[in-house]
Amino acid sequence: MTNIIIKSEPNFSPSIDAEIEGSANDYIHNDADGKHMRLNAHAVAKDKGTGALIYVNYTGVIAITPALGKILGAAEDAKTTEFGDAFIEMRFETGEEKLKELETGMFVGAGHFIVEQGQPVTVEYKVSKVVKGSA
């Protein structure tokens, strides 16, 4: 699994800014048509604000674009992708009371791949809670 950062949007409560700790498991397979990848990832993240450990599970779909192909193929001209081709649904479990509300919400996110010279590829997701809208 590449480096993963989980960061909520500003003003979201409870705020989360976490990085994966130790090993993580991700199960990825391509659709038969080769246009999308399906994700199922499991990890433990450490929140920078509270120091709490958080079990994270997410599933999602990523469009296999030429830009992603370059990243996966470790092409020298691979570049950071824009948001819009990777989407996830995320679940959390934690013993930290300040973050307990994360366990009862429905969370969705958009992600992109960050490519920096000499660094492993990083996947960044912007995660938001689904809420009831007003009429």
Give CA torsion, residues 129, 132, 133, 135, to 10 deg. Answer: 180
**Which residues, 6 or more positions from 37, have their beta carbon under 8 angstroms from its beta carbon?**
28, 29, 30, 31, 61, 62, 64
Element (H, E) at 47: strand 36-47
Asked if 127 and 15 touch (Cβ cutoff 8 Å), the reply is no
C-alpha to C-alpha distance for 13 and 40, rounded to whole angstroms: 25
The mean pLDDT of 19-38, rounded to a whole number, is 92
What are the tens digits of pLDDT across the range 65-111?
999 999 999 999 999 999 999 999 999 999 999 999 999 999 999 99
**In the chain, pLDDT over 70 holds for what percent of residues?**
97
Rounded to the nearest integer, the mean pLDDT of the chain is 91
The pLDDT value recorded for residue 3 is: 62
Please give the average per-residue pLDDT across 7-11, as a whole number: 82
pLDDT at 58: 92
The answer to whether 54 touches 44, Cβ cutoff 8 Å, is yes
Q: What is the pTM of this model?
A: 0.80
* pLDDT score for 73: 93
